[in-house]
Structure 1
Amino acid sequence: MLKLLLFCVLLVTCWPVAIIAVLLYPLIWLLLLPFRLVGIVVGGTFDLIAALFFLPGRILRTI
């Protein structure tokens, strides 16, 4: 909701910049998509390493 309000303020105050922002937003989103995917993969890898590290403790706790 805040982004929409900021866009409306930008549209009223400086409409050419708002139109350029609307046109460039999908392009920037596509350029940043690989970095998001790498972040998801790295986060999953760290979670897997943490789970493997804590696995012996979890097994011993249940005994």
Structure 2
Amino acid sequence: MSFPTLLLWLLLALVCWPLALLALLLWPVVWLLLLPFRILGFAVGGGLALIQALFYLPARLLGWRG
């Protein structure tokens, strides 16, 4: 945790501690809900990288460097 982040958390805890407590308790739930979308993003990115590699394969075999 970086120093500015720590200062912001301390400020939030001093000014509005119920909101800070709620954020700390709900963050793992939000992370779990967003996890499938992150996994889907990795899968889509890998699929697009595979398609790109297939398109560039003939040029790479002919000696093109890019």
Cα RMSD between the aligned structures? 1.2
Structure-1-length-normalised TM-score: 0.90
> TM-score of the superposition, structure 2-length normalised?
0.86
Point out where structure 2 has 5 or more consecutive residues left out of the alignment. none
Cα drift, residue 5 of structure 1:
2.6
More helix by share: 1
Query: What pairs up with 1:1-63 in 2 under 5 angstroms?
Result: 1=2, 2-61=4-63
String of CA shifts for 1:3-61, please: whole Å, max 9, x gaps: 33322211111000000000000000000000000000000000000000000000001
Quick one: distance in 1 between partners of 2:6 and 2:37? 25
Give the aligned length: 62
Percent sequence identity over aligned pairs: 53
Which whole-Å CA distance do the structure 1 matches of 2:7 and 2:56 have between them?
A: 46
SS at match of 1:61: coil
